Structure 1
Amino acid sequence: MLFNLLHKGQSNCGNQTYAPHTYPLPNSRIVGGREAVPHSWPWQVDLRFRDNPLTCGGSLVRAQSGRLFVLTGAQCVDGSVAADWKVDVGVHSRSALEPDQKTYNVREFIVHQNYSPYYLENDVAIMKLSQPIAEGNTAYPICVTTLPSSDFWGQDCVVTGWGATVEGGEPSDRLKEVYKPVLTDAQCLTNVGGAYNAESMMCAGYLQGGEGACAGDNGGPLACKNSRGQWDLVGIVSWGFGCAREGFPAVYSNVHKFLDWINNETTDV
């Protein structure tokens, strides 16, 4: 019942003013890959810890009140305090101060009570900001899926971020994107092994490797297009073995598993 509250405003999410690239382009990937059309993923935010120019990604989501908050990974914020964080919204190039770019302070963050830093289970966190986010063409929320991840098995979905473009490399200055198929739980268990827990995780990627998320992308969105033509937040970048290695698809927090928790923790946004 609770998840219905989060979705009462589902018509005001998951749309883009600036159309993304026509899918697919060959060899598109964040690791080594394709620059996104500027501001075509307006829910993507850059989370900065203290003086670090990029710590994690995150997604703008609309709360029951209509205001926006940030959904990210628990691993990004666990052990820190809210005053250490800045949220950059409306960013494409991190080195350029763009006309619509805004920076927000964090009032509070909430890490899932069952988060395991060792196993990266329940790797999800909420950031509440010190002032309302000004919505516009470059800052707009993604919808939160109402469907289980199994409804997206086999669908090509998109991951975005400023993470490293090669394993062990430096973060990207400009936002990158990669489309990758959502895999079944059986495929995830076979390829990832016992560290995969279907109770809080999902996975996506090409088993031949070469395309995927990397360091700095953690906490960012895995977005799938829904039947209404809007984009749903289905997963949150969590972990993997290296960056886009062959036979090791990336693992994401399964957003559908946390709908009630998200609603319970965002009533005061």
Structure 2
Amino acid sequence: MVRFRFRRVLGTVAAAITVASMGAVLNAQPAAAADPGPQRVVGGSTATQGEFPFMVRLSMGCGGALYSPNLVLTAAHCVGSTGTNTSITATLGVVDLNSTSKITRKSNYVYRAPGYTGAGKDWALIRLASPVTTLATLPIATTSTYDTGTFTIAGWGAATEGGAQQRYLRKATVPFVSDTTCNSSAMYGGEVIATDEICAGYTAGGVDTCQGDSGGPMFRRDSANAWIQVGIVSWGDGCARPNKPGVYSQVSYFSANIRSAATSLGG
């Protein structure tokens, strides 16, 4: 089965969604509180200003999390090869991408996971041209302790499968799905890489990340009640379909590699 399912905005749609000019795609008002149908980022609800200060919107149509003042953690499939890159704009510090108080930074370097070929190893770091020191960063999980339970997902991606990108950050919660269940014939039939991918979602569907949420964080509270990142939005069949939970890069598995790469980038 072809993995077209990466949750990045592709092609001409991505080109149209830039942080410099959000355009008509992002000019829609936030979804009404009485939205029909199940809760979805596909659904969910609009985040409040300052609720997730580490959230980042990237100009290629992906999400990310502020790993350090000058580094954004995102998905490998959102970026090109490792090297100098000044083409990406990051928008930070706001729920509303059209807000006049938004913070923007250009990239100056991209580090994509070594050996990434489109299956697994779906993580990357983007170095910003200047640091953002006024926002909280999102620590990553370094052990599998937090790779279970209920997670929070957030992003500016489509609120329905095939839908438009969102102007306002949306959030939802999803439960952990075990590797055995996620790889069952009823779900992904062995396609999930159990060693370094983690699934989350409902058997009945209805709540999920979607196109445009790629690279964004999946996170939960740690033992000190602080946010910690456990996943990176990677792929899935459609959005919020029954028996098709979201599949995320398992951050704890790659934590040593991420930290080593961040150190080499000065982060």
Q: 1:113 to 1:79 in 2, by over 3 A?
A: closer
Whether contact under 8 Å (2:155, 2:213) holds in the other structure is: yes
> What percent identity do the matched residue pairs reach?
33
Partner secondary structure for residue 168 of structure 1: coil
Question: Could you list the per-position Cα deviations for residues 98-139 of structure 1 after superposition, in whole angstroms to 9, with x for gaps in the alignment?
Answer: x2x21111111100012122x3x100001111111122xxx2
Residue by residue over 1:81-111, the C-alpha shift from the partner in whole angstroms, topping out at 9 and shown as x without a partner, is: 61210111112111232x2x21111111100
2:77: which partner in 1? 75
Contact preservation (8 Å) 2:39, 2:206? no
Alignment length (residue pairs): 226
- The residue number in structure 2 matching 1:58 is 64
In the alignment, the residues of structure 2 paired with residue 261 and residue 213 of structure 1 have an alpha-carbon distance, to the nearest angstrom, of 25
Which residue of 2 is the match for residue 234 of structure 1? Answer: 230
- 2:164 matched to which residue of 1? 170
Answer yes or no: is the 8 Å Cα contact 2:74–2:216 preserved in 1.
yes
- Residue segments in structure 1 that go unaligned for 5+ positions in a row: 1-25, 50-54
2: CA distance between counterparts of 1:41 and 1:127? 19
- Which shifted more, 198-207 or 184-193? 184-193
Shift of 1:236: 0.2
Cα deviations by residue, 1:181-226 (Å, 9 ceiling, x for unpaired): 1111111211222220012211100010011100000000100111
Shift of 1:27: 4.8
- The whole-number CA distance in structure 1 between the counterparts of 2:138 and 2:39 is 22
Q: Give the SS at the match of 2:86.
A: helix
C-alpha root-mean-square deviation of aligned residues, in Å?
Answer: 1.7
Is 1:197 aligned to residue 193 of structure 2? yes
The residue aligned with 1:225 is 221
2:250 to 229, 232, 254: 254
CA distance in 1, matches of 2:230, 2:64: 13
Which stretch shows the higher mean deviation, 179-188 or 205-214? Answer: 179-188
Conserved 8 A contact 1:28-1:177: no
Give the structure 2 partner of residue 104 of structure 1. 105
User: Normalising by the residue count of structure 2, what TM-score does the alignment of the two structures yield?
Assistant: 0.80
Instruction: Write the letter of the residue equivalent to 1:218.
Output: S
Q: Contact between 1:69 and 1:127, CA under 8 Å: does it hold in 2?
A: yes
Instruction: Show the counterpart of 1:5.
Output: none
Could you say if the C-alpha distance between residues 170 and 253 of structure 1 is closer, same or farther in structure 2, counting changes exceeding 3 Å?
same
Question: What SS is found at the alignment partner of 2:182?
Answer: helix
Q: Distance in 2 between matches of 1:259 and 1:145?
A: 7
Q: Say which of 87, 103, 106 aligns to 1:84.
A: 87
Match for 2:65: what amino acid? S
* 1:8-27 superposed matches below 5 A: 27=38
Contact 1:29 1:179 (8 Å CA) reproduced: no
Q: Which amino acid aligns with 1:107?
A: N
The TM-score, its normalising length taken from structure 1, stands at 0.80
| Pair 210,106 (structure 1): closer, same or farther in 2 beyond 3 Å | same
For structure 2, the 5+ residue unaligned runs are: 1-36
